[in-house]
Structure 1
Amino acid sequence: MTQNLVIIGAGMATGRALEHLLDAEPDAYNVTLFNAEPRGNYNRIMLSPVLSGDKAYDEIVTHTAEWYDENGVTCRFGEKVAGIDRTAKTVTAANGDVVPYDKLLLGTGSNPFMIPLPGHDLEGVIAYRDLEDTERMMTMVEGQKVVVIGGGLLGLEAAAGMAARGVDVTVVHLMGHLMERQLDEAAGYLLRKALIDKGITVKCSANSKEILGKDGHVTGLLLEDGTELPCDLLVMAVGIRPNTALAAEAGLAVGKGIHVDDQMVTSDADILAVGECVEHNGALFGLVAPLYEQAKVVAQTLLGQEAAFVQKEVSTKLKVTGCDLFSAGDFADGPGREDIVFRDPARGVYKRLVLEENRVKGAVFYGDTADSNWFFGLIKDGTDVAEMRETLIFGPAFQGGTPLDPMAAVAALPDDAEICGCNGISKGTIVAAIQDGATDLAAVRTVTKASGSCGTCTGLVEQVLGATLGDDFVIPAAQSMCGCTDLAHEEVRRLIKSKGLKSMPAVWQELGWKTTCGCHVCRPALNFYLLADWPVEYQDDPQSRFINERKHANIQKDGTFSVVPRIWGGITNPDELRAIADAADKYHVPTVKFTGGQRIDLLGVKGEDLPHIWADLNKAGLVSGHAYSKGLRTVKTCVGTDHCRFGTQDSTGLGIRLEKMLWGSWTPHKLKLAVSGCPRNCAEATCKDIGVVCVDSGYQVSIGGAAGMDVKETELLCQVATEDETMEVVAAVTQLYRENAKYLDRIYKWMNKVGLDWIKDQIDDPDTRRALADRFELSQSIYRKDPWAEHARDKAETYQPLANLTLEAAE
């Protein structure tokens, strides 16, 4: 007779236990799954990429509604469990429903610890734990301020994700260096430096005293030294506590967590527990690897099989804000211990090994973690390293006297070398899966789970594939655009051109879309590809654009909007300033801010006032600054020869020409330019998507800069002698980017894929360059328009439209 299994909590640990159970004996239990969150299992490790905008929530869902349905799991999501009756063997839902169980699995997880500072209950004080917290942080926009208390992994991921969105972020950490549990002081220093370089303010050895507020909402954080840090949102990321309340109320044995034995059974033989809520032999668990090992044991116990959870040495391999980190073992100083340290400041690489009696006791790596699995194996196995002492720090490729290439180094790893730390998957397990037919990354991931959690081991798994399959290994295909198609972005772009597809229905029909009308992921991309490739034939579809592009303004956390007029090259005049001031007064704009791109931002405009404020600004000759668009944002300039004694060319004039040429254009992602009048680079041209540096002999045009999550210096594209040549080069490279890049790739990401040499070849050829520039001008002649003027004309009763709004009229 099939038994009833009730699971409380749809987290990663219970999700993995359920997978193991259903794979082994799908009919062993009737499963009912409760979850307080209104959703099923998703990969919490990947909330950070969702926050930064690199992934959508749908991409991190591990168990869909269809999966639960196909496996016969009764889902009660958004329902809390009010109590457990161990005598009657039932659980009672918050709505009063009573559900019987034969076996009960507790996966109640943990609760974020909130420091009981004065003001901790103010609106705008949140933790970083789940999707709701992530979505709250995603409402923060450029110009707003956030304070993050906690310099551990979660705190830094929260800070980095919001900083990538242009938010002004300050991290406050009590200890002397960041991530002190995982990193030593030197590595912590490098991490702090990298964060500061990305625009994040970091305050270590800082003690919080009070959370400040006004009208019930947070306004700042007061430190013990009297420093006051203003903020619109305060995030606490200072640790977690096992959620034991339900277990304790049911009379189960509870200490720091819910007590479990080696079989993951609690003090009640019919109740098991797994994950962050448990305490096993005095230890608590927060990393994924031991939780997944517990999940395997849970499934075996439920099926009556012999199993035992054994605590193992664990390593921490992380990626914070683009910085690779690794730590394992005990790296504290002590008697009889010695350090081997490698530093390469130019590459930002730091490696430290702690040795005792010729055995590696601890390791800390920053910036280069490629060999971390090999070093972790030395720590776990207690390997005597005396014979490799002189070359040890250089990793496995340098042992034996002759450097090996990375593939050979992976081939030399023993079968028990751990490749995927999250899931505890060894090289031998992956090799066995490959030999059984898993010949690509997706198949290996499906069979073994390797690279399926945080993803940092993906490259290593591919190297194992290459070492095992040799010439039969095929480089994996690009990821599909979305769930509607198996085609990658690059394939869709190529087929749109080769097949002459000039509408979204044509794409859906001819390319075999799985849905009839696309989804929120593919529609914006298709709309851009069609617009860029067929500017004459294709009609832009506003409903396939993101919300800010549809609204022609940036939505704020309170539902109001940000309005940014275009200020050509950062040059304005008293009449424009008066118009902006008058609009701010008339529409009760609460915040007027100068942006980093030499513009003025009107923050807090009500939605119903948008057409009217646009109309008033249009009357003064101001047009939309497209601060919301996947297109040109700004062209930042310095004063050049007009005023500066160091200026070599008219950088301001050129910047204005460029902005008037590029404004209103749609590109795969936002586009930022700058023109500096001399190599002193006051306009910061060398960290923009396209930068121009004026020199005595002409103009140096560079591309591929970035100053967000990734900080990158531009690379020289070409040098030309005249302004007109510069205009043509910029138009051509912009069009080349429009016609070839994946949607939502900045120029530097596109450049990394196609290579700077290929881009140079197109731009250096005069006929190709002119043709690209001509196609850009054609597209602009069709699509360059001021959306504020159009919508104000349609919606604002008092608006008198400007006659024939042109570039000249807008001047």
Structure 2
Amino acid sequence: MKKQKLVLVGNGMAGVRCIEEILTINPDAFDITIFGSEPHVNYNRILLSTVLQGGTTMDAITINDRNWYEKHRIQLYTGETVAAIDKEKQVVMTDKNREVPYDHLIMATGSTPFILPIPGADKEGVTAFRTIEDCKTIMEHAKPGEKAAVIGGGLLGLEAARGLINLGMDVSVVHKGSYLLERQLDQTAGKMLQEELESQGMKFLFEKQTENITGTSRVEGLLFKDGTKIDADLVVMAVGVRPNVQLARQSGIEVNRAILVNDYLQTSDPKIYAVGECVEHRGTVYGLVKPLYEQGKVLAGHICGIEDQGYEGSVLSTQLKISGVEVFSVGQFHEDAASKAIKLYDEVNRVYKKLIFQDHKMIGAVLIGDTRDRTRLLDMILKQKDISDFEKMALLHPPNENGYSVAAMPLSEVICNCNNVTKGAIIEAVQKEGLATVEEVRKCTKASGSCGGCKPLVTELLTYINSDECNENISQKSMCPCTSLTEDEVVKEMQLLGLTTVQEVMGKLNWYNSSGCDICRPAVEYYLGMIFPEFENKQEIHLENERVNAISQTNGTYTLIPQMYGGVTSAEQLRKIADIAMKYEIENIAITSEQRIHLLDVKKELLSAVCADLNMPLSSTYGNMVQNVKTCIGEHVCQCDKQPSLRLAVELEQNLEFLKTPYRLKLGVSACMHNGAGSTTKDIGVIGMDRGWEIYLGGSSGRIARSGELLTVAPTDEEAFEIIMGLVQYYRESANYLERTWQWTERLGLIHIREVLFDPELRQELLKRLEEDLAMRKKILVESDSQ
């Protein structure tokens, strides 16, 4: 099929990233031509400040060199500007009289620096800070010991000021506002940042408006509207940018503040798309990297024929490192009549945290000095999670300073927000590819390749990976020494080849040891049971304990556990148990932490008689299956109503009884925030709250306790039941054998698990398959009991 012609106007970060996405989806769909006004290949404009500051070189900020364009057969024209678009003929014309036809056109014209329209703005020594040429101009004019004035106290201005200080200049920052970074910080954080930068040598003039740039042919100083003035040998204007819409406007494309686009980034002409800083979507113009990359991904999918919900806008978050100071902000960070804030202000360690809440949901945050919780906070805002009062205060607690901070992060936590690169992805890349430097990590994963704000974290993670403390090896390993295949590969081959017995699996898949081992045999049996539920019919019944649910002990005796769903019993049941114990002289009787009675040391020859006289259903949680649900019944802590939690626990236990799982699955249902069942350290934990049920995932009460992560808040008993049942089934279907819930959660990511469970159709499919599995399992138990 003949390739369509695709033209990109603009060789910047957003446009070329969009082309990268297109090449990933369908590398052979288009003949691609790119025009760039600058005489350079695609480079990272955000990192120009690091060049100015002497932290890196021009070559180091190149994103794609000319070899990349040649490799993908892209025709690149640098130093050439598209001057006109003929929409009828579908042709672009350049300032070098070149005409190029297109089937689809992408406009990524970016922004232009705003130069204050004041007298003297055209003098020698006055420059913007936007391009490589601007950077070179500043470096050429900067003289140690001379005075520089930076107009603008935003991010770009502060970065320029830091660079000028590094070049030996005496730097003053002129800002019309009352504190720094008003768009990213509140006043407290802005003042803290100011104090830190002043300690590094920066000077600040607030609430100043420049009236005139003094001097003859060359700049000599600034005159302000209040009559004051300062001397300056170099002036850098960093007062903002404006979307570059000139080409779109003169070509008849609809423009407001920027080029108007729909959810698929199409302009008023459906053959012409736009992406990046030149775009206005639903009334918003974005200037940060992550939203622009998100736009590019949607555009690429649509132009390649992939239908989705389109671009719905972005929650703005800013992760910065300004002269060594960590700064993060997201969402709404100023209180109003409908919102409240909780704050931590640690003057000793120079740490400030402010979290904004509305109706138990976080809507914004500001962090300065310690931003390690940024990913978790961003996830809470994006998912609109309900957050308890206890959790709110816990969010402000300082992190553990022992060892590496990255060690405590789950594998699913995002390290690089711009490119959505997780901790696990970086560890896997380092282990598989033998990466040794941050630069190698950037080239392989793109982490730290955009705004650069995560570079310190990537550096720390790389150091941690290479330390003795790191025991997180996520490179794919074979199931066991009997085979070279991973567990995922074994399961895939079992399904593709229709293997239905352990012997078939080991024979057809060329097991080194034809009889397997203690690692692979139970794993293969579990997977066979998941893929082919009827497989269990073919297995031998496991002694009599599979039929009557007695648990065999190492001393040859058995333990019987009369079934008490949720720990609830009756006087009649207790009397019967006591009579049986007296009749058969069962001396060892215990009540466990799960509120169950255990009849211990029942002799084998008495087993059948005891079970016949007892004539009660027995509980057995032997092996990898759902354990008895832990509940809280005592009234000594509080007087809350325990009945709803008991009903939920009973319903869950009755419906999950005898269900096989990859690993032992412990559940706890607590009636209230006192957490009497220890729900936060269970695989799946539930806590009753005034707004419903908090559901936690991935806890562990072993030697090294782990607190589960809040999965969601279910407003009703019915929804809580459905989410938990669906969660159990998804764990059964997608976890590796013997993989704990916390390991499974880290591997898949909490966000992914939520996306599955919150999708009504997917959840109903999980519940349907779970019901079928339970029916099959109960049928097997009935048949085995009748034998």
Q: TM-score range by the shorter chain?
A: 0.5 to 0.7
Which deviates further from its counterpart, 351-360 or 1-10? 351-360
Structure 1 counterpart SS, 2:300: helix
Are residues 1:406 and 2:405 paired?
A: yes
Partner of 2:99: 98
**In the alignment, residue 343 of structure 1 is paired with which amino acid?**
Y
- Matched residues in 2 for 1:371 and 1:427: separation? 14
- Matched residues in 1 for 2:220 and 2:59: separation? 33
Change (3 A) 1:405 1:324: closer
Partner of 1:457: 454
- Matched residues in 2 for 1:157 and 1:107: separation? 25
- Indicate if the aligned counterparts of 2:321 and 2:327 stay in contact, CA closer than 8 A: yes
Are residues 1:381 and 2:374 paired?
A: no
User: What's the C-alpha RMSD, in Å, of the aligned pairs?
Assistant: 2.7
- Indicate if the aligned counterparts of 2:329 and 2:364 stay in contact, CA closer than 8 A: yes
Partner of 2:52: 51
Change (3 A) 1:39 1:390: closer
5 Å-filtered alignment, 1:331-480, equals 331-383=333-385, 384-394=387-397, 406-407=405-406, 409-411=408-410, 415=412, 417-426=413-422, 445-446=442-443, 448-458=445-455, 460=457, 470-471=470-471
Once the 2 structures are TM-superposed, how far is the Cα of residue 22 of structure 1 from its aligned partner? 2.2
**In the alignment, residue 406 of structure 1 is paired with which amino acid?**
S
Once the 2 structures are TM-superposed, how far is the Cα of residue 124 of structure 1 from its aligned partner? 2.3
Change (3 A) 1:185 1:472: closer
5 Å-filtered alignment, 1:309-328, equals 309-328=311-330
Query: Percent same amino acid among aligned pairs?
Result: 42
- Indicate if the aligned counterparts of 1:169 and 1:201 stay in contact, CA closer than 8 A: yes
- Matched residues in 1 for 2:96 and 2:4: separation? 24
Once the 2 structures are TM-superposed, how far is the Cα of residue 243 of structure 1 from its aligned partner? 0.4
- Matched residues in 2 for 1:424 and 1:314: separation? 14
Once the 2 structures are TM-superposed, how far is the Cα of residue 295 of structure 1 from its aligned partner? 1.4
- Indicate if the aligned counterparts of 2:431 and 2:473 stay in contact, CA closer than 8 A: no
Once the 2 structures are TM-superposed, how far is the Cα of residue 445 of structure 1 from its aligned partner? 4.2
Change (3 A) 1:228 1:28: same
Partner of 2:734: none
- Indicate if the aligned counterparts of 2:407 and 2:470 stay in contact, CA closer than 8 A: no
Structure 1 counterpart SS, 2:43: coil
Once the 2 structures are TM-superposed, how far is the Cα of residue 317 of structure 1 from its aligned partner? 0.7
- Matched residues in 1 for 2:325 and 2:399: separation? 22
Once the 2 structures are TM-superposed, how far is the Cα of residue 376 of structure 1 from its aligned partner? 1.9
Change (3 A) 1:280 1:336: closer
What do residues 733-791 of structure 1 show as CA deviations (whole Å, max 9, x unaligned)?
A: xxxxxxxxxxxxxxxxxxxxxxxxxxxxxxxxxxxxxxxxxxxxxxxxxxxxxxxxxxx
Partner of 2:43: 42
Partner of 1:74: 75
Structure 1 counterpart SS, 2:264: coil
- Matched residues in 1 for 2:298 and 2:145: separation? 49
- Matched residues in 1 for 2:472 and 2:27: separation? 35
Q: TM-score, normalised by structure 2?
A: 0.56
**In the alignment, residue 349 of structure 1 is paired with which amino acid?**
V
Change (3 A) 1:59 1:444: closer
What do residues 240-272 of structure 1 show as CA deviations (whole Å, max 9, x unaligned)?
A: 111011011110111111111111111111111
- Matched residues in 2 for 1:266 and 1:429: separation? 36
Partner of 1:270: 271
Change (3 A) 1:238 1:371: same
Once the 2 structures are TM-superposed, how far is the Cα of residue 365 of structure 1 from its aligned partner? 1.4
Are residues 1:240 and 2:241 paired?
A: yes
5 Å-filtered alignment, 1:710-749, equals none
Once the 2 structures are TM-superposed, how far is the Cα of residue 95 of structure 1 from its aligned partner? 1.7
**In the alignment, residue 422 of structure 1 is paired with which amino acid?**
C
Partner of 2:737: none
5 Å-filtered alignment, 1:14-25, equals 14-25=15-26
- Indicate if the aligned counterparts of 1:407 and 1:467 stay in contact, CA closer than 8 A: no
Are residues 1:84 and 2:81 paired?
A: no
Once the 2 structures are TM-superposed, how far is the Cα of residue 287 of structure 1 from its aligned partner? 0.2
- Matched residues in 2 for 1:285 and 1:147: separation? 28
- Matched residues in 1 for 2:460 and 2:147: separation? 42
Once the 2 structures are TM-superposed, how far is the Cα of residue 26 of structure 1 from its aligned partner? 2.5
Structure 2 counterpart SS, 1:394: coil
Q: Which consecutive unaligned segments of at least 5 residues does structure 2 have?
A: 475-787
Change (3 A) 1:450 1:54: closer
Change (3 A) 1:159 1:29: same
Determine which structure has more spread, i.e. the larger CA radius of gyration. 2
Q: TM-score, normalised by structure 1?
A: 0.54
- Matched residues in 1 for 2:166 and 2:52: separation? 9
Once the 2 structures are TM-superposed, how far is the Cα of residue 27 of structure 1 from its aligned partner? 2.4
Change (3 A) 1:470 1:192: closer
What do residues 380-418 of structure 1 show as CA deviations (whole Å, max 9, x unaligned)?
A: 2223132323322026769xxxx997345302x7x4x54
Partner of 2:618: none
Structure 2 counterpart SS, 1:129: coil
Partner of 1:180: 182
Partner of 1:303: 304
- Indicate if the aligned counterparts of 2:156 and 2:238 stay in contact, CA closer than 8 A: yes
Q: Which consecutive unaligned segments of at least 5 residues does structure 1 have?
A: 475-811
Partner of 1:137: 138
Change (3 A) 1:3 1:209: same
Structure 1 counterpart SS, 2:471: helix
5 Å-filtered alignment, 1:714-793, equals none
